[in-house]
Amino acid sequence: MNKTYKYRLYPTKKQIQKLNWTLDMCRVLYNSCLLDRKNSYIQTGKGFTRIEQQKILKEDKKRFRFLNEVHSQVLQDVLFRVERAFQSFFRRVKANSEKPGYPRFKGEGRYDSIIYPQQPGFQLISQGLKLSKIGTIKIKLHRKLGDGIKTLTVRRTNNKWYACFSCEIESHPLPVIDKTVGIDVGIASFATLSTGEKINNPRFFKTDQKKLAKAQKRLSKTKKGTPDRKKQRKKVSRIHEKIANKRSDFAHKLSRTLVNGFQVITFEKLNIKDMMGNNTKIFGHKLNKSISDVAWSQFMNFTTYKAECAGRSVIFVNPRNTSKRCSRCGQLVEKTLADRVHSCSCGLVMDRDENAAINILALGTQSLGFTLEAPSYL
């Protein structure tokens, strides 16, 4: 399986200038390739292919010597990005998407990563990370890097630099246990387990919302193109970064706890993209804003890849009627989003989300070919 390891880089001022220059040259090449494809289609009715643009790039490197100051594999990856952008565009057109999204030109500062597809372009040595055409950069290896390094992505985020190594690693299964769990994700509680345990919603965005609004207000008052606006934009970006880091840390820790504690983990297969279009207010807040804050997709993705590495199973089931169906008798009990208690005519009264989590687990175990025994308290 593939796994990405992310480490912080600490380049010198001279290396930062070189990295920024490299990103800008890649951005210029990306825009140039995009324009060439567009002009070719207008003139001939047929766009360039990646192979044709590689031949053009080879000739351009003879005419424009500065292109030789960027590693050849990094430049070739730019052509792959352009090709992927058009492939995605044509796929959306074929699917009759309302907004297929024609590939756009990259503005200044909008190209933030370079990729070394093969190891000759980079090398980990005792002094740091050696990058072809850039130099040796100090790197903090806070954890052991996996074997089988495939590619390296050097990324700029809020003027911080990171090295992301994509590695092909072997799975390390944990001992098999007989515990299974169904998980119902929500807004009031981040998640409710079929065991009855509730995970509180940390609401990271809501916590820092006032600080963010204050910073954005100051940004809107600064004049465009001034150093003050650039400085204030960084402050806004840092607040967003801190919120994202807190959310990611929470999801990593919770997913690890679940993978260590259960052999089979069952989620609902939610269409989160469609749910994000819901502007309904619940508990005084818009539903789409609350869904964005809890980041269910991130949590489920983290749990899935950790489970794959640990030899555990993650199952996604149809979410239809999991909240309405009684986990004791199977009868459908109508509820609104505001109804937080499940009360059935069979006499079962319990938390709505716990009832849903038990139903989710039952569907998951059925897909594995065995039936779940009802908890004793039901």
Concatenating the DSSP letter of every residue in 90-154 gives HHHHHTT-S------PPPTT---EEEE-SGGGEEEETTEEEETTTEEEEEE--SPPPSSEEEEEE
Give pLDDT, residue 284.
Answer: 47
Instruction: Please state the rounded mean pLDDT for residues 2-25.
Output: 95
Residue 276 has pLDDT above 70, yes or no: no
Instruction: Please state the rounded mean pLDDT for residues 60-66.
Output: 89
Q: Which domain holds residue 314?
A: 180-367
Q: Are residues 87 and 26 in the same domain?
A: yes
Q: Are residues 73 and 202 in the same domain?
A: no
Asked if the structure places residue 374 within a domain, the reply is no
Q: Are 122 and 130 in contact (CB under 8 A)?
A: yes
Going by pLDDT thresholds of 50, 70 and 90, the confidence category of residue 90 is very high
Residue of 374 and 251 predicted with greater confidence? 251
Asked if the structure places residue 173 within a domain, the reply is no
pLDDT, the chain, mean: 88
The model's pTM is 0.82
Going by pLDDT thresholds of 50, 70 and 90, the confidence category of residue 279 is low
Phi first, then psi: what are they for 65, rounded to 5°? -65, -25
Residue 243 has pLDDT above 80, yes or no: yes
How far, CA to CA in Å, does 199 sit from each of 104, 254, 298, 316, 355?
A: 41, 9, 16, 20, 15
Looking at 148, 168, 188, the residue that finishes a domain is: 168
Give pLDDT, residue 297.
Answer: 87
Least Cα distance to 322 among 281, 298, 352, 278 occurs for 352
Asked if the structure places residue 174 within a domain, the reply is no
pLDDT in tens, 200-212: 988 888 788 888 9
Q: Which residues are catalytic?
A: 184, 268, 353
Q: Are residues 105 and 134 in the same domain?
A: yes
Q: Are residues 146 and 184 in the same domain?
A: no
Give pLDDT, residue 84.
Answer: 95
Rounded to an integer, what distance in angstroms lies between the CA atom of residue 302 and that of residue 259?
Answer: 10
Instruction: Please state the rounded mean pLDDT for residues 106-119.
Output: 91
Lowest-confidence range among 116-120, 207-211, 290-294?
A: 290-294
pLDDT in tens, 353-374: 999 999 999 999 888 876 555 4
Asked if the structure places residue 69 within a domain, the reply is yes
Q: Are residues 200 and 340 in the same domain?
A: yes
Asked if the structure places residue 211 within a domain, the reply is yes
Q: Are residues 9 and 62 in the same domain?
A: yes
